């Protein structure tokens, strides 16, 4: 059978646009014809390195393709995805799906507004996106790579085949600070570390409870309420900066914890922070009624290396965000694979080319947004429980 060809456009030319392009090279289920890139900044260089065309408008690139990869900063996700859906195109949307970015106010500061406003506005944005999707022949394909990480998919298999009941999950995404210049400003990121990093382990936890409910009763078990605390540790007056942790945030949290209660009374505790040294720290532990699993997304012990001299490894990529390559380390022999990037893009192209259902649909993305902005209300109330809107 002849492979279908999918015409592709990349929106954004930064960090995520790069790993999306790498994953596109590995798609098996369809021929991928990358038509080009559109970005506010960096498009020329990105296009030159990859031998693709630069578009000068969003409209033109959408016109020429079947799917856009929305790899632009979070505040633009809604408008780009809706523009694509209106023309019956697919939109692969990076995390977070959308959010609250402070409206048009020039003086907006993430610390000085009622967090209920953030929840209401973010949910209104989600609603507009879901309505556009309903009217479209295209779909929102939510790019939450954790769901496609091999360890999370293995856990899905265990839950499905053993009929497990998950009682408690705890997980974390953390490192020593994100690279992007816009990170650190609520108005670009839609919040602090609770949304930018917390969305990953949270969505994995929401997903596994969905899988459990889907298997047992044919419907997902959804999050019901959340309790949260957030902190800005690197902005404490007495923070002693020794240069290892990024510490130039404007108005965001750099530490957060969410305690999520699901409809069936079971729970998840999700940590996210920008204060962890020693490389990226991404894991989810599942305590079920019939098994216990620890998904070590990054680092893991697939490889352990001892290097006596830092300079030996000057040309060796070891693992994301590691501070030093000297001594013992856990190099990732295929970091993208352990992180789920190629698997998620393959899954999305199976949906686009062959109509297969997608695990990370807009409903899962919407539950993530509802939970996180409810958590910001809880944090504002110093940890009071907040009911999550559906
Ligand atoms: N899944 C992951 O592991 C992961 C990792 C990093 C970033 N992300 C997500 O990817 C998205 C982008 O982050 P990044 O790190 O690539 O940012 P970045 O700052 O490296 O790049 C952003 C790119 O988007 C462009 N852009 C911004 N607004 C635009 C608009 N309206 N139209 C066209 N282009 C626009 C910028 O010019 C730039 O080229 C964010 O939503 C982020 O949360 C996901």
Per-residue pLDDT for the chain (390 aa), expressed as one digit of tens each? 679 999 999 999 999 999 999 999 999 999 999 999 999 999 999 999 999 999 999 999 999 999 999 999 999 999 999 999 999 999 999 999 999 999 888 889 999 999 999 999 999 999 999 999 999 999 999 999 999 999 999 999 999 999 999 999 999 999 999 888 889 999 999 999 999 999 999 999 999 999 999 999 999 999 999 999 999 999 999 999 999 999 999 999 999 999 999 999 999 999 999 999 999 999 999 999 999 999 999 999 999 999 999 999 999 999 999 989 999 999 999 999 999 999 999 999 999 999 999 999 999 999 999 999 999 999 999 999 999 998
> What is the pLDDT at residue 47?
98
Q: Are residues 176 and 231 in the same domain?
A: yes
247 with 379, same domain: the answer is yes
pLDDT at 2: 78
Which atom of ligand 1 is found nearest the CA of 180?
A: 19
CATH number of the domain enclosing 167 = 3.30.360.10
Q: 108: buried, middle or exposed (CB in 10 Å: 19+, 13-18, 0-12)? A: middle
Distances (CA, A) of 116 to 100, 242, 319, 322, 378: 11, 36, 38, 37, 10
Q: Which domain holds residue 227?
A: 147-339+367-387
pLDDT at res. 150 = 98
Q: How far apart are CA 257 and CA 270, in angstroms?
A: 6
Beta bridge partners of 258: 228, 270
3 state DSSP class of 126: helix
Phi and psi at residue 9, in whole multiples of 5°?
Answer: -125, 140
Question: Do 196 and 139 share a structural domain?
Answer: no
* Ligand 1 atom 25 nearest Cα: 12
Residue 386, SS3? strand
- Residue 199 and residue 165 in one domain: yes
What is this structure's pTM?
A: 0.97
* CATH number for position 119: 3.40.50.720
Ligand 1: residue whose CA is nearest its atom 18: 14
Nearest Cα neighbor of 295 from 342, 346, 338, 343 is 338
Q: Please give all residues whose beta carbon lies within 6 A of any atom in ligand 1, as ranges.
A: 11-17, 38-42, 71-74, 76, 94-95, 145, 180, 182, 196
- Which of 9, 10, 12, 187 has most ligand 1 atoms within 8 Å of CB, for mutation? 12
Residues 101, 164, single domain; the answer is no
Q: What pLDDT score does 103 carry?
A: 86
Same-domain status, 140 and 154: no
Check residue 90 and give its pLDDT: 98
| Residues 357 and 315 both lie in one domain | no
CA distance 126 to 369: 8
Identify the pLDDT of residue 1. Answer: 63
State the Cα–Cα distance between residues 164 and 185, nearest whole angstrom: 41
pLDDT for 8 equals 98
Q: Please tell me whether residues 379 and 253 are part of one structural domain.
A: yes
Pocket probe for ligand 1: among 73, 297, 368, the residue whose CB has the most ligand atoms within 8 Å is 73
H or E segment to which residue 306 belongs:
strand 305-307
Number of domains in the chain: 2
Among 102, 257, 119, which Cα is nearest to 188's? Answer: 102
Say how far apart CA 17 and CA 178 lie, in whole Å: 16
């Amino acid at each position: 059978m002849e492979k279908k060809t999918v015409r592709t456009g990349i929106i954004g030319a930064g960090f995520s646009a790069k790993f999306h392009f790498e994953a596109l090279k590995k798609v098996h289920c369809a021929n991928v014809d990358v038509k080009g890139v559109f970005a506010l900044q960096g498009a020329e260089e990105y296009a030159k390195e990859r031998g693709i065309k630069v578009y000068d408008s969003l409209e033109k690139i959408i016109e020429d393709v079947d799917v856009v990869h929305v790899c632009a900063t979070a505040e633009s996700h809604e408008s780009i995805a809706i523009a694509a859906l209106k023309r019956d195109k697919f939109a692969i949307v990076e995390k977070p799906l959308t959010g609250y970015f402070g409206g048009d106010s020039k003086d907006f500061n993430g610390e000085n507004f009622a967090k209920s406003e953030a929840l209401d506005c973010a949910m209104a944005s989600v609603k507009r996106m879901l309505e556009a999707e309903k009217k479209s022949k295209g779909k929102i394909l939510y790019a939450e790579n954790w769901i496609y990480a091999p360890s999370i998919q293995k856990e899905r298999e265990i839950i499905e085949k053993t009929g497990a009941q998950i009682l408690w999950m705890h997980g974390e995404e953390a490192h020593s600070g994100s690279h992007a210049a816009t990170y650190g400003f609520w108005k670009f990121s839609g919040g602090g570390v609770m949304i930018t990093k917390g969305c990953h382990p949270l969505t994995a936890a929401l997903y596994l409870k969905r899988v459990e409910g889907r298997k047992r009763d044919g419907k997902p078990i959804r999050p019901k309420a959340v309790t949260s605390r957030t902190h800005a540790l690197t902005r404490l007056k007495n923070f002693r900066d020794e240069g290892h942790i990024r510490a130039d945030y404007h108005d965001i949290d750099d530490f957060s914890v969410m305690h999520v209660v699901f409809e069936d009374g079971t729970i998840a505790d999700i940590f996210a922070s920008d204060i962890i040294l020693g490389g990226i720290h991404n894991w989810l532990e599942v305590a079920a009624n019939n098994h216990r699993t620890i998904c070590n997304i990054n680092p893991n012990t697939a490889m352990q290396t001892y290097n006596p001299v830092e300079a030996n490894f000057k040309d060796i990529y070891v693992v994301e965000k590691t501070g030093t390559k000297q001594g013992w380390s856990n190099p990732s022999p295929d970091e993208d694979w352990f992180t789920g990037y190629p698997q998620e893009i393959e899954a999305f192209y199976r949906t686009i080319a062959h109509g297969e259902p997608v695990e990370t649909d807009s409903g899962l993305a919407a539950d993530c947004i509802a939970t996180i902005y409810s958590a910001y209300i809880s944090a504002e109330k110093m940890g009071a429980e907040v009911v999550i809107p559906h």
